Amino acid sequence: MLEEATASLEAGGVSSPRHDAEVLLSHVTGVPRMMLIGGGTPSAPQQETYRAMVDARARRVPLQHLTGSTGFRYVDVEVGPGVFVPRPETELLAGWAIAHATTLESPVVVELCAGAGAISLSVVHEVPGARVHAVELDEPAFEWAQRNLAGTGVDLRLGDMADAFGDLDGQVDVVVANPPYIPLDAWESVAPEARDHDPALALWSGDDGLDAMRVVDRVAWRLLKPGGVVGAEHADAQGESAPAVFAPRWADVRDHLDLAGRPRFVTATKPRR
């Protein structure tokens, strides 16, 4: 079954066919991936469900939509149609925000463009005492964030980040965001899993892909106290243009690489003056 599924996924253009075949079979049977080969024979209903899931994955339905969740740092995040699926690259941005927050007493952290709420969930999980606020514009995505952040104490709000959290102006220690950053003319270059299944609001951001980044710049400047920091993810082709958004008035503007060595997120500090 695994060999057949792997071949089907490879023919469909899936980038990690064997991995995805194993994850789906583990999901259907409840047998851990490392124990699949010796885990017995799936029942007839399980085989039918599995083949249907493999067919959907071969049509480039996101793996996480089929399993209903994805791992992010040390938490599981529920995802599905209507919300952007958190990527492993974003874990580095979350790690930067968490590392900074842990140096502070009762840090105030704001996540813009929260999506499923993965960064906020990680912050409250790893930084005890942090006061975390998050905002999401898209209603279906907001509903996923509500599900993931229920009972965590995160102040989750539905609305536009441009005018969010006026009650927190000048009081925030860390602003973190994974905003949309794909240029409108880059449609053909986007993987079908994202292009056809992630919400448009989470992907596209003007002619140069930086419209939302400019809003992050303005909102973070308003929210942060002097010495506060902002971090925002960007496309690997924006390693110079994204930091340039923050360069005019911010201190210590730096770009950071992902695990593949590609430019991935920018950070900056609001000057103390």
**Residue 179 marked ligand-binding:** yes
Nearest to 230 by CA among 129, 111, 134: 111
**Residue 48 marked ligand-binding:** no
Which two tokens mark 188? 């053909």
Angle between helices 44-58 and 2-11 (to 10 degrees): 20
Name the phi and psi angles at 42, rounded to 5: -60, 145
Which two tokens mark 200? 């448009």
Distances (CA, A) of 230 to 100, 165, 247: 10, 15, 13
**Residue 178 marked ligand-binding:** yes
Residue-level length of the chain: 273
As to burial, measured by CB atoms within 10 angstroms (0-12 exposed, 13-18 middle, 19+ buried), residue 260 is exposed
Q: How far is Cα 253 from Cα 267, in angstroms, rounded to an integer?
A: 6
Binding residue ranges:
136, 178-181
Binding residue ranges for substrate:
178-181
Binding residue ranges for S-adenosyl-L-methionine:
136, 178
